[in-house]
Structure 1
């Protein structure tokens, strides 16, 4: 084939050169010899999500960890010895004041109460008898006093008559004797009255003792049901129906779960900012989920010299119902708030120890560059502060109203066109 082409097309006297050039022109369309494209195609627009920056609240915070403590918790104990007949509540159940937690069959029985009541009735009758005797003795004394006054008058008259010679000595002696008898009777009656008063006091004491016996006998029946003294959540119940419990034995707890406290040891370098009312956010240490919002209400006046810290106590409402006594939590103390800008961590591109953000704009990134046909992103150096949630605090480099790329930043570079996504 090579020989034929050389002979036919390239022989010096055959006019083959002209025919060879024509042959090449015929082959070019078949071989795709179209040359270079007349117009160069520009870079494709990168799809990104944009976020417009707005003024936010920047926080100066510190984080601590600890365990929640219930504001109020009571231990339920049995006031009597007895056997459990019913446990009408379960662990973790919310109960209100007065709810029955435990029912008991006491050791003391009804006959003991009946005996105490009978003794009290007898003491009551004895008191009434003693009081009647006292009243009678007081009345009898009145009769004796009246008789003594009469004898006193007769004696005085006999004495005058004897002095005048109108009465004999015998008559005077008789009146003197009668007066002496009356005085002796009055003295004896006074002793009887005192004895009767003592008897009344003793009867009163006996009745009081008998009534105390009734009260003691009634105690087991009063404490057959152990009830909740506060609203709260029932703790672990370590007894069951059929178990025997002794007086003073603790069998469960009730925890008021409306509020919880957290003890926080704050370093002394925050002492100037530390005061009641400082806001505290309660966070889940695993997910960083906000559990509650509270504030410091107690600041210890004493510094822990070993740790150089100040003990504080913050209180949190359990509005979500997610807080539990003893729960391990993270507390974020918010020392101050100020207006500023937050930028999502996903929008920051670190490079050589510096941080950059891609800002969307319709003008060229550098002065003198041609105007873009659409929206582009420009790499902007930013100075960042502390992390706040899922964002950085911006110290400088951005302003409210800037539109920044928050996705796909790995595909971006200075001046690349973008296609904003909704």
Structure 2
């Protein structure tokens, strides 16, 4: 019995040594297998130059294309209102009727004055005509003929004065019917039947607003406008289109397209903005004065830029943007770029890329400069390296051994 125990201990030590030798050999085989790993497969897109519009989305408010305050031009009592409140009225349409009695009497009086002046003028002219041949033969004094001719001219002037007074009376009579100065939608009546109105009153009788077309006053930051003008002047951007589209307050798209008319040469001191005015068609009357809208339009076009998918562009801790490209010898190359804005799903890169560069968009995780690559076009199926025969069985056996 004492001789058996030392023998068993020696056998256990020998078995442990064999096990350690086998494990170290297995680890060396695994390390050798890992060292034979091939180049990293990455997906790329080819850089191409493009022109990208500079889309602006700015808030604005609608303004009536025309607005007129209806006021009386003569004084009197309002006898009738001839329109329906809130309806569409046309230029020249009768709106109010003022009592015309006094103005009709003034017209009749002036007509009589004209008739009297015409009779006087006719008599004076006939007298001058009779004196003329008599003065030539010195049957009457030359002064008598001169006085008669002057009286005839004065009589004709009196006729002209009375005709002017008659015309004024007729105009005042016409003003007793108050008509619409413009076409548009009229609001509520601010005066009632039976009210006394005067030609010099401050309050209007009603307000008419022309709503087709409509103006949209768009507010843009003066700093942004200055940056845009400098970019246009330096050639970094080209002038864009003047076409404007609107989004309404409920988020829906307005179905019509308008145009930018002009930009004010004045900065609002309280807001620091410049007003751009656009003209929009409004045949269905959807736009009403005072509505808030969002105007979308292209102020400029940036030429010769490269569109890079957003997944490809990364930034370092300093905020500098960079991408990986396929360099010489299919090695990864880190390329710093300048990208200050996006366009759709892409970054707009202005500096750092050239046409034909292969920009890596897939497989950028843990990518390092100089790493060997196997580039394929983006979205190509990724190849998975096959396992060596028996690898699954060995892994299962190792797991069982660890258990």
Q: TM-score, normalised by structure 1?
A: 0.53
Matched, 1:282 2:246: yes
Aligned residues: 260
Q: CA, structure 1 residues 400+142, in 2 after alignment: closer, same or farther (shift >3 Å)?
A: farther
Contact 1:276 1:297 in 2 (8 A): no
Kindly provide the CA deviation profile for residues 188-232 of structure 1, in whole angstroms up to 9, marking residues without a partner as x.
Answer: 622111101211122122222222332233233212222223321
Q: Find 1:84's aligned residue among 78, 82, 88.
A: 78
Q: Is the 8 A contact 1:108 1:217 kept in 2?
A: no
Residue by residue over 1:7-29, the C-alpha shift from the partner in whole angstroms, topping out at 9 and shown as x without a partner, is xxxxxxxxxxxxxxxxxxxxxxx
Instruction: Give the CA deviation at 1:105.
Output: 0.9
Contact 1:276–1:295 (Cα < 8 Å) also in 2: no
2:195, 2:378 → 1: CA distance? 70
Structure 1 residue 252: Cα displacement:
1.6
* Cα 1:58–1:269 shift into 2, 3 Å: closer
Q: 3-state SS of the aligned residue for 2:205?
A: strand
- 1:269 aligned to 2:233? no
2:96 aligned to 86, 96, 102, which one? 102
Unaligned runs of 5+ in 1: 1-56, 145-184, 343-384, 403-422
Counterparts of 1:189 and 1:400, CA distance in 2: 118
Q: Does 1:227 align with 2:185?
A: no
Q: How much has 1:340 moved relative to structure 2?
A: 8.8
Give me the whole-angstrom Cα distance separating, in 1, the residues matched to 2:378 and 2:52: 14
Q: Does structure 1 residue 255 correspond to structure 2 residue 194?
A: no
User: Where does residue 17 of structure 2 map in the other structure?
Assistant: none
Residues 325-376 of structure 1, C-alpha deviation per residue, up to 9 Å, x if partnerless?
222222223346899999xxxxxxxxxxxxxxxxxxxxxxxxxxxxxxxxxx
Q: Secondary structure at the match of 2:102?
A: coil
Judge conservation of contact 1:83–1:245 (CA < 8 Å) in 2.
yes
Distance 2:68 2:270 in 1: 33
- C-alpha displacement at 1:245, in angstroms? 1.2
Instruction: Determine if contact 1:233/1:255 at 8 Å carries over to the other structure.
Output: yes
**Does the Cα contact within 8 Å between 2:61 and 2:218 map onto a contact in 1?**
no
Q: Secondary structure at the match of 1:108?
A: helix
Q: Secondary structure at the match of 2:137?
A: helix
Conserved 8 A contact 1:81-1:246 = yes
Correspondence for 1:298: 262
Instruction: Give the direction of change, closer, same or farther, for the CA distance of 1:254–1:304 in structure 2 (3 Å limit).
Output: closer
2:136 corresponds, among 139, 142, 154, to 142
Choose from 58, 69, 79 the match for 1:64: 58
Residue 195 of structure 2, aligned match among 232, 243, 255: 243
What is the alpha-carbon distance in structure 2 between the residues aligned to residue 400 and residue 86 of structure 1?
A: 78
SS of the residue aligned with 1:238?
Answer: coil
Counterparts of residues 14-413 of structure 1 (less than 5 Å): 60-106=54-100, 108-144=102-138, 189-249=141-201, 250-267=204-221, 268-271=226-229, 272=231, 277-290=241-254, 292-301=256-265, 309-335=273-299, 393-394=345-346
TM-score, structure 2 as length reference: 0.55
Q: How far apart, in 1, do the equivalents of 2:240 and 2:101 lie?
A: 53
Q: What is the match of residue 11 of structure 2?
A: none
Evaluate the alpha carbon distance shift between residue 397 and residue 223 of structure 1 in structure 2; reply closer, same or farther with a 3 A threshold: farther
Q: Relative to structure 1, is the Cα distance of residues 327 and 113 closer, same or farther in structure 2, using a 3 angstrom cutoff?
A: same
Mapped contact 2:59–2:219 kept (Cα < 8 A)? no
Distance 1:317 1:125 in 2: 59
Larger Rg: 1
**Uncovered stretches (5+) of structure 2, i.e. residues with no partner:** 1-50, 233-237, 310-340, 348-359, 363-376, 381-403
Residue 54 of structure 1 aligns with which residue? none
Query: Does the C-alpha gap of structure 1 residues 217 and 278 become closer, same or farther in structure 2, counting only changes over 3 Å?
Result: closer
Q: Aligned with 2:160: secondary structure?
A: helix
Shift of 1:256: 1.8
| Residues 89 and 306 (structure 1), Cα distance of their counterparts in 2 relative to 1, 3 Å cut | closer
Query: d(CA) in 2 for partners of 1:401 and 1:98?
Result: 68
1:283–1:329 CA contact under 8 A, matched in 2: yes
